């Protein structure tokens, strides 16, 4: 039986009386690249934080690799990793020092060799000895990505993986991630606002609005469903709560 | 590629965090200087005070090093607490907690690493001042002998307990509470009997003093210096109290971590 890598059931998170996530259900299968889309405040980061075990749900259940995250998250944390341009690494440590520390935290065998490999693949070598604080936003994003790939995770959770990158670097990073996903048969789950990126790399999209899943499908299915030309227009429809039926009818016709 | 991620306690992960703090220490000259600076300034100040009292106080004249020993031992407790609190606030400054706690690192492994690095920082800072006292004031704290070890460990453990509680408060209330790291320990200074016997305190305050391991340590120190008596009973009481306080410190920190996971502050905590 193919156990989903991520299984979310009736997931709810409230901060006091304010609901952030409401009764969300979804599964993500092994080897897929799934994007979580939604406007600001839709609940993407909250969902990611709960998947990572950083945030305790108010109700519902999250299983990753079949393990209940509320009770056994340490059984699976070593098989997953996370990157976000909004969560920093220690500023005063050099890139190499940061990667060494995280390599040991993840129990990576042959940490130096792995860091050298990632340095080559993600083009980090020129600033490997520089403190993290001295790097540009784009360089930091690449270092954060290298940290996320140190343990060759089976599940990679990414928050805006190409934010702050110039188009050329972003394209190379995207290609690298797609190659990694195929090579490792890894599952990639990410939150993004970059719709062309999602169209290019994802085979599954979950749309969130005000803490609820409002639609789901492949980028092509969603575009057809909403009768739009691209995912960005679909996103705008959902974010602005546009009545989709006319467009949908037009698409069907 | 990876191993041992599901071990409940991993020396490798503790070592990784200790390495992180050593890298930090190595990266900053001012941080290293700060380790030596305050203990040395304190030593020089109390050295001159001792010299003055040697001719003006019969009490100090009976045991010339009593004030110097006191200031060095007090700094053990202060450095021990700072070592824990400041290392933890570094994680908050660097907004690194989100990355740390999506790794297999357990909160109690972080606590162990904080205690380790606090020990290293304290040893560096205090050793320099203790060695400097020998040529400057012809006083060696090492003359206290083996009991010095029990004094040291009892005081640093009390510092750790306070440091962990401060870290828990900072995790709960954010970096606005970080100044507690510098002032919290001074709340217990007046009742610790650092420079005077506990009997000097008002009667109603003495029972409070005897709730603190530090009071037993400083009384034990004076028993050696004035009466050449090694009071093992005092050290045993201090150790028993420390076991309770350290347990409380760890529990409060872990509780604060749990609350942070409920409130979602681990991902966004920072300046």
Residues 6+ apart with CB under 8 A from B221: B66, B69, B70, B73, B144, B147, B151
- The answer, yes or no, to whether residue A43 has pLDDT greater than 80, is yes
Distance CA B98, CA A85 (A): 12
CB B242 within 8 A of CB B157: yes
Q: Tokens 């790399």 identify what position? A: A201
Q: What is the pLDDT of residue A253?
A: 35
List the single residue in A with minimal CA-CA distance to B14: A105
Q: Do A107 and B12 touch (CB under 8 A)?
A: yes
Q: What is the pLDDT of residues A197-219, one digit of tens each?
A: 899 889 999 999 989 999 999 99
Maximal C-alpha separation, chain A? 60
* Nearest-CA distance B1 → chain A (Å): 5
Structure tokens at A214: 């409002």
**What is the separation of C-alpha A65 from the centre of its chain, rounded to a whole number of angstroms?**
16
CB A161 within 8 A of CB A181: no
- The answer, yes or no, to whether residue A70 has pLDDT greater than 80, is yes
Instruction: Give, in degrees to the nearest 5, the angle at Cα B72 between B70 and B75.
Output: 105
Structure tokens at B113: 């690493």
Distance CA B125, CA B140 (A): 16
H/E segment holding residue B87 = helix B66-93
CB B151 within 8 A of CB B239: no
A6-217 fold: Rossmann fold (3.40.50)
pLDDT under 50: residue ranges of chain B = 270-271
- The answer, yes or no, to whether residue A246 has pLDDT greater than 50, is no
**What is the separation of C-alpha B108 from the centre of its chain, rounded to a whole number of angstroms?**
18
* Nearest-CA distance B161 → chain A (Å): 25
Q: What is the pLDDT of residue A244?
A: 54
Separation in Å, CA B69 to CA A92, B39, B40, B159, B160: 36, 12, 13, 17, 20
Any A CB within 8 A of B264 CB: yes
* Nearest-CA distance A252 → chain B (Å): 43
| Residues forming a β-bridge with A158 | A83, A190
| Residues forming a β-bridge with A15 | A18
Alpha-helix residue ranges (DSSP H) falling in A79-136: 95-105, 111-121
CB B260 within 8 A of CB B269: yes
Strands A212-217 and A59-64: unpaired
CB A155 within 8 A of CB A187: yes
CB A184 within 8 A of CB A177: no
Interface of A with B (CB under 8 A): 15, 45-46, 49, 52-56, 74-75, 77-82, 84, 87-94, 97, 100-109, 114, 131, 147, 151-152
Q: What is the pLDDT of residue B224?
A: 92
Select the residue of A54, A88, A106 nearest B94 (Cβ to Cβ): A88
User: Chains A, B: CB contacts under 8 A, how many?
Assistant: 129
Distance CA A135, CA A94 (A): 10
Maximal C-alpha separation, chain B? 69
Structure tokens at A57: 């749900």
Select the residue of B27, B261, B270 nearest A54 (Cβ to Cβ): B261
Distance CA B136, CA B128 (A): 12
Q: What is the pLDDT of residue A245?
A: 52
| Residues forming a β-bridge with B2 | A108
**What is the separation of C-alpha A67 from the centre of its chain, rounded to a whole number of angstroms?**
19
Select the residue of A55, A90, A105 nearest B16 (Cβ to Cβ): A105
Residues 6+ apart with CB under 8 A from B246: B157, B160, B161, B164
pTM of the entire structure? 0.90
How would you list the strands of the sheet with A212-217, edge to edge?
A: A80-83, A155-159, A187-191, A33-37, A204-209, A212-217
Average per-residue pLDDT in chain A? 89
Q: Tokens 């999250």 identify what position? A: A62
Distance CA B20, CA B45 (A): 34
Instruction: Give, in degrees to the nearest 5, the angle at Cα B190 between B231 and B111.
Output: 75
Q: What is the pLDDT of residue B60?
A: 73
H/E segment holding residue A214 = strand A212-217
Domain map (residue ranges) of chain A:
6-217, 218-253
Domain map (residue ranges) of chain B:
11-263
Q: What is the pLDDT of residue A251?
A: 45
Any A CB within 8 A of B55 CB: no
Q: What is the pLDDT of residue A27?
A: 95
Q: Specify the DSSP class assigned to residue A108.
A: B
CB A143 within 8 A of CB A135: yes
Q: Do A152 and B12 touch (CB under 8 A)?
A: no
Distance CA A166, CA A171 (A): 8
Mutate to test the interface with B, among A75, A101, A132 (most CBs of B within 10 A): A101
Closest CA to B137 of B40, B227, B225: B40
Reported ipTM: 0.88
Q: What SS3 string covers B31-55?
A: HHHHHHHHHHHHHHHHHHHHHHHHH
Give the torsion sign (CA, B50, B56, B60, B65): positive
Q: What is the pLDDT of residue A249?
A: 40
Q: What is the pLDDT of residues A170-206, one digit of tens each?
A: 888 888 899 999 999 999 998 888 888 899 889 999 9
Structure tokens at B181: 């790291």
| Average pLDDT estimate for A133-148 | 92
Q: Specify the DSSP class assigned to residue A54.
A: S
């Amino acid at each position: 039986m193919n156990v989903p890598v991520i299984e979310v059931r009736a997931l709810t998170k409230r901060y006091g009386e304010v609901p952030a996530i409401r009764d969300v259900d979804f599964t993500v299968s092994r080897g897929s690249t799934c994007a979580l889309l939604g406007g600001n405040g839709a609940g993407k980061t909250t969902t990611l934080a709960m998947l990572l075990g950083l945030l305790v749900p108010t109700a519902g259940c999250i299983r990753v690799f079949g393990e209940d995250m509320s009770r056994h998250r340490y059984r699976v944390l070593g098989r997953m990793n996370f990157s976000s341009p909004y969560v920093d690494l220690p500023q005063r440590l050099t890139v190499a020092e940061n990667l060494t520390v995280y390599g040991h935290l993840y129990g990576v065998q042959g940490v130096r060799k792995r860091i050298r490999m990632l340095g080559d693949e993600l083009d980090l070598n020129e600033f490997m000895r520089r403190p993290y604080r001295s790097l540009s936003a784009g360089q930091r994003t690449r270092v954060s990505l290298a940290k996320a790939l140190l343990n060759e995770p089976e599940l990679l959770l990414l928050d805006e993986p190409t934010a702050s990158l110039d188009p050329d670097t972003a394209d190379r990073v995207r290609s690298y991630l797609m190659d990694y996903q195929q090579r490792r048969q890894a599952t990639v789950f990410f939150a993004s606002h970059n719709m062309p990126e999602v169209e290019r790399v994802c085979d599954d999209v979950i749309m969130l609005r005000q803490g609820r899943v409002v639609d789901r499908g492949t980028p092509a299915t969603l575009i057809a469903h909403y009768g739009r030309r691209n995912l960005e227009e679909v996103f705008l429809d959902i974010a602005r709560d546009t009545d989709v039926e006319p467009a949908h009818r037009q698409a069907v016709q | 590629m990876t191993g041992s991620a599901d071990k409940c306690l991993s020396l490798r992960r503790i070592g990784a965090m200790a390495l992180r703090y050593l890298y930090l220490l190595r990266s900053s000259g001012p941080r290293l200087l700060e380790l030596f600076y305050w203990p040395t300034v304190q030593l020089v100040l109390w050295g001159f005070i001792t010299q003055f009292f040697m001719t003006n106080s019969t009490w100090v004249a009976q045991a010339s090093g009593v004030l110097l020993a006191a200031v060095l031992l007090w700094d053990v407790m202060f450095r021990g607490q700072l070592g824990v609190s400041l290392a933890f606030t570094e994680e908050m400054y660097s907004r690194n907690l989100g990355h740390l706690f999506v790794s297999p690192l357990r909160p109690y492994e972080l606590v162990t690493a904080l205690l380790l690095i606090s020990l290293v920082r304290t040893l560096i800072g205090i050793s320099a001042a203790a060695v400097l006292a020998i040529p400057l004031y012809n006083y060696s704290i090492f003359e206290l002998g083996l009991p010095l070890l029990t004094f040291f460990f009892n005081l640093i453990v009390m510092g750790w307990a306070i440091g962990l509680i401060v870290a828990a408060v900072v995790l709960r209330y954010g970096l606005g509470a970080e100044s507690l790291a510098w002032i919290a320990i001074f709340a217990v200074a007046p009742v610790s009997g650092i420079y005077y016997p506990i009997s000097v305190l008002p009667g109603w305050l003495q029972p409070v003093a005897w709730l603190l391991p530090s009071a037993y340590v400083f009384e034990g120190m004076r028993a050696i210096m004035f009466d050449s008596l090694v009071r093992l009973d005092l050290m045993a009481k201090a150790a028993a109290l420390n076991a309770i306080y350290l347990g409380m410190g760890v529990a409060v920190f872990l509780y604060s971590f749990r609350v942070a996971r409920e409130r979602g502050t681990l991902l966004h905590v920072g300046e």
